[in-house]
Amino acid sequence: MADDHVFTLNGDERWLLRFTTLKGAAYGYTFSQKAKHPRIILDARMRGRKKLEVLVHELLHALNPTQSEEHVEQQGKDIASVLWALNYREANDGP
């Protein structure tokens, strides 16, 4: 079962954020604004800091589609680390 959220990025682009069970090794995917239906897909089994880090990572891909994987990887870890240190957490068990 998927848990879906719709939001706007880059001013006016409608994006779908879906939490679902993913197969394989990846925790998330971003299908860019070049896609017919831009979306971010995240593995619903993630919790805590890992979930925050992967969410930030995939949002960075959505906002900066030309940046390298290495650049996005480091930025995602850095932003998630700061947010975690400031005690940003899910308000509930979440999706």
The answer to whether the beta carbons of residues 42 and 54 sit under 8 Å apart is yes
Q: Which residues pair with 4 in a beta bridge?
A: 18
pTM for the complete prediction? 0.89
d(CA 56, CA 49): 11
Query: What is the rounded average pLDDT of the residues 39-66?
Result: 96
pLDDT value of position 2: 78
**DSSP letter, residue 41:** E
Counting runs of H as helices and runs of E as strands, what totals does the chain give?
2, 4
Look at the alpha carbons of 7, 31, 19, 63 in this order and tell me if their dihedral is positive or negative: negative
What's residue 93's pLDDT? 56
pLDDT by residue (tens digit) across 60-95? Answer: 999 999 999 999 999 999 999 999 999 999 887 554
